[in-house]
Structure formats: C-alpha cells, structure tokens
Amino acid sequence: MKPGRDHSAVALAAVPLLFLGAFYFYPLFEIFSVSLTSDGTWGLRNIVNVFSAGYYARVLWFTTWQAALSTLLTLVLALPAAYVFARYRFPGKSLIQSLSAIPFVLPSVVVAAAFSALLGPRGLVNEWLMAIRGLESPPIRLEHTITFILMAHVFYNFTVVLRIVGGFWSRIDPGLVQAAQVLGASPWQSFRKITLPLLRPGIMAASLLVFIFCFSSFGVILILGGPRFATIEVAVYRQAMHLFNLPMAAALSLLQICFMFVFMWVYTRLQRAASVELTPEAGRIVQRDVATVKDRLIVWGTVSFMLVLLAAPLLALAFRSLSTEGGLSLLYYRALFQNPSQSIFYIPPVSAIGYSVGYAAVALVMSLCIALPAALFLSRDRGRATSLLDPLFMLPLATSSVTLGFGYIIALDEPPLNLRTSLLIVPLAHTLVAYPFVVRSILPALRSIPAGLRESAVLLGAAPSQVWWKVTAPLIRMPLVVGAIFAFTVSLGEFGATIFLARPELPTMPLAIYRFLGRPGALNYGQAMAMSTILMIVTAAGFLLLERLRTGPGGEL
C-alpha cells in the first residue's frame, strides 16, 4: 500500500470518528459524570439510590417482565406463521410477507394511535358496541392496562419472529422430520426432538431481539400505558422532563445503557453461533403447494389471523381519521390546516409536517456524509483497524434514543458545544440513529466491487476522482438510495430523542400526534388520527419502496 493511501484512510475514518466523539461519546460521558457525581464528588450514591428506592426497583422489574411476556406472546403467536411461510408456496405470499413487516417500521406513536383507534375508549370497536347495545360508556376498557401494551408489542414485533425463525425453518431439510417419523417418532415427538432443537438458534436470536425492543419500549408505554406504567426509558423521560431530577435520570440512563450493551453483545454472540451451526445443512429450500384440505386450513387460517392482527389496527386508524360525527369526511384533515385561537401550537398543525420533512432532509444529508466515509474506510481492507472500528461505528444501534436525547440535553446545552437553541440538534440526533443503517446498506456493495475493477480503471488512465465517479459511485448508487430512504423514514418517525430536543413551537409529526392524543375533545383526537394516518402512509410507502429496491432487479442487498 502506498503511503499516500494511508493519509486518505485516516481522513475517511476521521469524519465518522469526530462525529461520534462529539455527538455520541461526549453526551454518553456526560451521563456517566452526572450519574456518578453528587455534590461535586465522584461516587456511586446516585446508582445506589436507584436501587434502594422501591419505585425504581419496580420500574426495572416492570421493564423486564413486560418485555419477557411480550416476547413469549409474540413467539407463540408468530411460530405457526413462521412454519407456514417456511414450508408452503401460496399465491400472494411475498406480498403478505412484505406487508406484514410494515408494523415494525411504523413510528411507535403511530402504533399507539392505531391501537387507540381500534380498541381505545374512542376506538372503533367500542363505538360500534355502544351503538349496537345502546350503551352510555365504552364496554371495553383497555386504555392504561398491560393488555393494551402487550398487544401493541406483539403487533410491532410479529414480523421479527416471522422473518428470523421462518428463515431458519425454511433451511431445515424436511427429510429430517420424515426420517424421524420413519424411525418411529410421532409428529409431536419429531417436532420436539428434531425441529425445535434445530430452530433453537433462530428462536433465541428472534426472542432476544424482540426482548431488546420491548425492554427499551418508550412511545407505546408512554401513550398506551398512561401514568401507571413506566419502563426505564419512560422513567428517564419523566425524571428529566417532569421532575427535573437530572442525577436520577442520568443514573437510570446509565442502567439502560449497560443493559443494552450486554443484550447487544449477547445478540452478536448468538448470531455468530447461529451462522456457524447452520452451514452444514443449509441448502436447498423445499416448499410445497397448498394441496389438501388440511393444508388449506393451516395456511389460510394463519394468513387470516395475521391479517386481523396486523391490518385491523392500521385500517381502524385510517377509518377513524375519516369518521366524524357527521359521517365520513375530511374534517380532521382540514383542521390540520387551521390555526384556531385555542390551538396548542399557535401555528397550523400542518406545519409539523413541514418541520418533520425539513429535519428528515437534513438528517438524510448528514447520514450520507457520515456513512459514506465510514463505509469507504471499512471496505478498504479487513485489518485490525477495520475490525475495531466496525463495531464502534455500529455502537449507536445499541443505545436507546431516549438515552441519546437525554444525553444531548445535559451535554450540548453549555460550552464547548452549545446547541440548545440550534435547529441542528434534532437532525443531529436523528443522524446518529440512522447512519449505522446507511453504512450497513452501502458496505456489502462496496466490498463486492472487485479490486481489479478499480485497478484496471487506473491502468486505463483514470485519476482517483474519475475512478470514484465513473466506477465506484455508479455501482453503489442503489444501496445509497436505499440508505437515504431509510435515514429519511427513521428521522420522520423518531420520537424518543425528539421529545427531549424539539422546540415546542417547532414540533415534528410524532410530537404533534403525541400532544393531540393528550388533549381532550373529539377534534384533537381526530387530528391525531389524521396526522398518524399521513405518517403511516408515508412510512409504509417508504418501506415498500425499500423492499422493491432491495429485492427488485438491480438491487444489491
């Protein structure tokens, strides 16, 4: 390697490193120092306080058991679907599989709004029951119950189990189960002795992932759980923003950070073990047609169940945004454009859409600016620097956005970096959340470009800049577009960090929805529904576009 190249490598690595240093490690360090200092001296008093106060033990306990229960429920409900998608061929399968992933990419605020639209006190089901039975009050009271939270978590994470476990299942040779049966194993025995042990790595990986998501659940708990329930994330938010107890919030954040790092570390280990174990028998994928009556019952029963579970809340949301006291109308959508004197924002709510799009555009550009040098650096060689920096660049993935938002408000509101009043603080946080995905999107494409391609361009007389524009850039265009769309949608739906950072008069769409949901009155509720519907459609469209780009012709992922 020429010495000149080393300089450019350092320059490439410097961009993401400086960004991470200022906007990730510095806030994280501030959380450490706030939680570990009291009255100007270092010590563990705050941490000890967290564990000695009963409330916080209850928070940790609740966080853990609701996550465990959510995981178990998701697993039990999604396993049959994983089987059906792994073993059968049927019309509409790939479409249903794509659509079933939509809940997972929706902003948590939209999911909360959708469940409220279906089963909340103003929800469709309650309205119908009241109309049919002539009741005065809603008969189904799920708001602020654990059931509501669990349902939303299952809805959210169903596709995680479906995809991961389904993927494992489809790679298990059906001959193994048949061999077991000829050897005398009943269908149940062959499932327990053969299929289940072979699925175990997949089940473990999917379970841990779902557990991590539910453990750090914020929007769903905050909105659907009400004041009775708090995960660590929600407790951090309440301590910091309602009670202004920054040391306590910092101690809780630290706790959350430690848990998340441990979970992510275990997850990476699991994934590595799983990929090793799968190699010997990973081979042809055998799927059968829906032939017998039994097949039909299994397949269409599962698909209908999925549609009810996954589509009903979203359809209810869309329907609820259109149903007013005077029948179906666009009343709530029109109201988004008005600015009545009692408005909670003093501006037309529709401007939240403008702010969201603006923030998202800035976050998109910044994500590309950080991710591109990072990916270029990582694609150069697989030396020690790369294997050290690759996980470092991915570290923000293991940090919850609430922790991030909290870290920003305690770190970036005073010199040396005072961004409290800067418009950039929101897109900066979004960039930190989004850029690892962009790196992961570009990197495989960059690595798949054979070195000979660039070298032959150089031998043909191309200058380094020409090599980039004529060879490399065209080859990674599609992954770049995929990464950009991803960054944009992540930013649009981001809630946990934004709620700490956005200025009250410049709300994003998720914040506007959250505030609408917190106000009384049919008009506010209707506007929450209308804006959630808009956000849902934009996010779902972005996701489906991603799926097409990734799997369609020319996709390189």
| Residue 346 region by backbone torsions, left for phi larger than 0, else alpha for psi between -120 and 50, else beta | left
> Rounded to whole angstroms, how far apart are CA atoms 186 and 192?
10
> Which residue, 281 or 381, has its beta carbon nearer to another protein?
281
> Which residue, 187 or 504, has its beta carbon nearer to another protein?
187
> Rounded to whole angstroms, how far apart are CA atoms 179 and 384?
46
| Residue 329 binds to another protein (criterion: CB under 8 A) | no
| Residue 178 binds to another protein (criterion: CB under 8 A) | yes
Find the part of the chain contacting another protein (CB under 8 A) among 32-40, 194-202, 250-258, 307-315: 194-202
Restricted to residues 252-291, the positions that interact with another protein (CB under 8 A) are 277, 280-281, 289
- From candidates 15, 22, 72, 173, binder to another protein by CB under 8 A: 173
Q: Work out how close the CB of 189 gets to another protein at its nearest, in angstroms, rounded to a whole number.
A: 6
> Rounded to whole angstroms, how far apart are CA atoms 229 and 222?
8
* Nearest CA among 485, 506, 477, 512 for reference residue 360: 485
With DSSP H G I counted as helix, E B as strand and the rest as coil, what are the percentages for the chain, rounded to 5? 75, 5, 20
- 3-state SS assignment for residue 176: helix
| Residue 189 binds to another protein (criterion: CB under 8 A) | yes
| Residue 141 binds to another protein (criterion: CB under 8 A) | no
- Compute the chain's Rg from CA coordinates: 25
List the structure tokens of 74. 């998701």
* Nearest CA among 172, 158, 159 for reference residue 200: 172
> Which residue, 288 or 382, has its beta carbon nearer to another protein?
288
Specify the residue for token string 């306990």: 61
- From candidates 4, 54, 134, 184, binder to another protein by CB under 8 A: 184
Find the part of the chain contacting another protein (CB under 8 A) among 184-192, 293-301, 366-374, 473-481: 184-192
| Residue 297 binds to another protein (criterion: CB under 8 A) | no
| Residue 554 binds to another protein (criterion: CB under 8 A) | no
> Which residue, 175 or 521, has its beta carbon nearer to another protein?
175
> Which residue, 125 or 177, has its beta carbon nearer to another protein?
177
| Residue 326 binds to another protein (criterion: CB under 8 A) | no
> Which residue, 185 or 241, has its beta carbon nearer to another protein?
185
DSSP H helix total and E strand total for the chain? 28, 8
List the structure tokens of 435. 């850029």
| Residue 181 binds to another protein (criterion: CB under 8 A) | yes
Find the part of the chain contacting another protein (CB under 8 A) among 189-197, 213-221, 405-413, 471-479: 189-197
Number of residues that bind another protein (CB under 8 A): 23
List the structure tokens of 432. 């930190």
> Which residue, 100 or 190, has its beta carbon nearer to another protein?
190
Find the part of the chain contacting another protein (CB under 8 A) among 181-189, 316-324, 417-425, 506-514: 181-189
| Residue 198 binds to another protein (criterion: CB under 8 A) | yes
Neighbours of 2 (CB within 10 A): 7
Q: Work out how close the CB of 273 gets to another protein at its nearest, in angstroms, rounded to a whole number.
A: 13
> Which residue, 135 or 196, has its beta carbon nearer to another protein?
196
| Residue 343 binds to another protein (criterion: CB under 8 A) | no
| Residue 197 binds to another protein (criterion: CB under 8 A) | yes
> Rounded to whole angstroms, how far apart are CA atoms 291 and 123?
40
| Residue 182 binds to another protein (criterion: CB under 8 A) | yes
Q: Work out how close the CB of 201 gets to another protein at its nearest, in angstroms, rounded to a whole number.
A: 10
Per the CB < 8 A criterion, the answer to whether 263 and 219 are in contact is no
Restricted to residues 384-413, the positions that interact with another protein (CB under 8 A) are none
Q: Work out how close the CB of 390 gets to another protein at its nearest, in angstroms, rounded to a whole number.
A: 28
> Which residue, 286 or 458, has its beta carbon nearer to another protein?
286
> Rounded to whole angstroms, how far apart are CA atoms 556 and 475?
9
> Which residue, 249 or 270, has its beta carbon nearer to another protein?
270
Find the part of the chain contacting another protein (CB under 8 A) among 190-198, 433-441, 486-494, 528-536: 190-198
Q: What is the DSSP string of 311-371?
A: HHHHHHHHHHHHEETTEE-SHHHHHTT---TT-SSSS-TTHHHHHHHHHHHHHHHHHHHHH
| Residue 54 binds to another protein (criterion: CB under 8 A) | no
| Residue 193 binds to another protein (criterion: CB under 8 A) | yes
Q: Work out how close the CB of 279 gets to another protein at its nearest, in angstroms, rounded to a whole number.
A: 8
In the chain, the amino acid numbered 454 is: R
- From candidates 43, 175, 301, 552, binder to another protein by CB under 8 A: 175
Per the CB < 8 A criterion, the answer to whether 490 and 437 are in contact is yes
Interstrand relation of 41-42 and 37-38 (parallel, antiparallel or unpaired): antiparallel
> Rounded to whole angstroms, how far apart are CA atoms 429 and 172?
42
- From candidates 96, 129, 185, 462, binder to another protein by CB under 8 A: 185
Q: Work out how close the CB of 204 gets to another protein at its nearest, in angstroms, rounded to a whole number.
A: 14
Interstrand relation of 327-328 and 323-324 (parallel, antiparallel or unpaired): antiparallel
| Residue 91 binds to another protein (criterion: CB under 8 A) | no
> Rounded to whole angstroms, how far apart are CA atoms 77 and 50?
36
- From candidates 72, 125, 176, 424, binder to another protein by CB under 8 A: 176
What's the burial of 520, exposed, middle or buried (CB within 10 Å: 0-12/13-18/19+)? exposed
- From candidates 150, 194, 429, 506, binder to another protein by CB under 8 A: 194
> Rounded to whole angstroms, how far apart are CA atoms 150 and 65?
11
| Residue 179 binds to another protein (criterion: CB under 8 A) | yes
| Residue 299 binds to another protein (criterion: CB under 8 A) | no
What's the burial of 310, exposed, middle or buried (CB within 10 Å: 0-12/13-18/19+)? buried
> Rounded to whole angstroms, how far apart are CA atoms 352 and 247?
32
> Which residue, 180 or 442, has its beta carbon nearer to another protein?
180
> Rounded to whole angstroms, how far apart are CA atoms 489 and 481?
12
Please give the residue ranges that form the binding site for another protein (CB under 8 A): 173, 175-176, 178-187, 189-190, 193-194, 197-198, 277, 280-281, 289
